Amino acid sequence: MGFSIMKPILGRAPLLRTRAFQFGPSHSVLLTRSLLTSPVLAKEKATNDGKKPPKPRKTKAKSKPRAKKEPKSKPKPKPKPVMIFKKHLKGEIKMPLSSWMNFVAEYTAKNKEPIRSASLYTQEASAQWRAMSPEDKEKYKPSPEEKAKVSEAKKAYRATLEYKRAARKFKVKRARKINPFARFVKEYYDRNSTLTFLEQGHELGAKWRALSESEKDFWRQKTTEENTLKDTPTA
């Protein structure tokens, strides 16, 4: 038995030389032997050796992104019971204007100019109000008749069934009573002043200490009268 190998040509896979052997008149065997391999032949052998190629790995399908939950809309806040109760409290009672509001009404009536704006009226009125003395401001306070009228109206309204039902429903408490000095500060505290609250407090404290006992008795009596009328419940 003999075989031969042909030299490989540059750039090509080596050729195999075959030889047929005769074993009889009609039988022959074709033998092939390779003594030289290459990456090309090795690849062909690996794919043709009868083994099944590995199955490709299954890739997991990408999960769909979860839909974002819409935020729940906040319920509208219910009206505060305090405001509802105040409507029941006042009823048809018309409260008197404050000293400042009475002054503004008078100032506007005296200086009627249709071209000027309301804000300009307020600025000028505020400047004049700050320059006024406490004695000049006294005449703009609500009259005793107006206060007495409001007091009687409150008493009559508190005696009604409507008021009692409102007070029981909203479970309110009584208003806090004030002392004579607090009533004095409330009377002379100027909201439109350029001074701070602390500075005005120091000035009013000095004025209170400078009052005589008879002058302080006036504020004590006034405070006592107002505290007796504070049957108005507040939340």
Give tens-digit pLDDT for 83-106: 444 554 555 567 777 788 888 888
- Helix (H) or strand (E) segment spanning residue 185: helix 180-188
Report the alpha-carbon angle 93-98-104, nearest 5: 120
| Phi, then psi, of 149 in degrees rounded to 5 | -65, -45
- Give the pLDDT confidence score for residue 226 in this predicted structure: 78
Contacts of 82 (CB under 8 A, 6+ apart): 170, 172, 234, 235
Ranges of the chain with pLDDT below 50: 1-5, 8-11, 15-18, 20-23, 26-32, 34-37, 40, 80-85, 88, 233-235
- Give the pLDDT confidence score for residue 182 in this predicted structure: 87
- Give the pLDDT confidence score for residue 29 in this predicted structure: 46
- Give the pLDDT confidence score for residue 186 in this predicted structure: 83
- Give the pLDDT confidence score for residue 100 in this predicted structure: 83
The C-alpha atoms of residue 210 and residue 87 are separated, in whole angstroms, by 42
What CATH number does domain 172-235 carry, 2.60.40.1480, 3.40.470.10, 1.10.30.10, 3.40.50.2000? Answer: 1.10.30.10
- Give the pLDDT confidence score for residue 84 in this predicted structure: 44
Burial of residue 50, with CB atoms counted within 10 A of its CB: 0-12 exposed, 13-18 middle, 19 or more buried = exposed
* Average pLDDT of the chain, as a whole number: 68
Closest CA to 154 of 218, 57, 223, 233: 233
The C-alpha atoms of residue 229 and residue 143 are separated, in whole angstroms, by 17
- Give the pLDDT confidence score for residue 126 in this predicted structure: 84
Closest CA to 8 of 30, 31, 38: 38
- Give the pLDDT confidence score for residue 235 in this predicted structure: 41
- Give the pLDDT confidence score for residue 148 in this predicted structure: 80
Enumerate the domain spans of the chain.
172-235
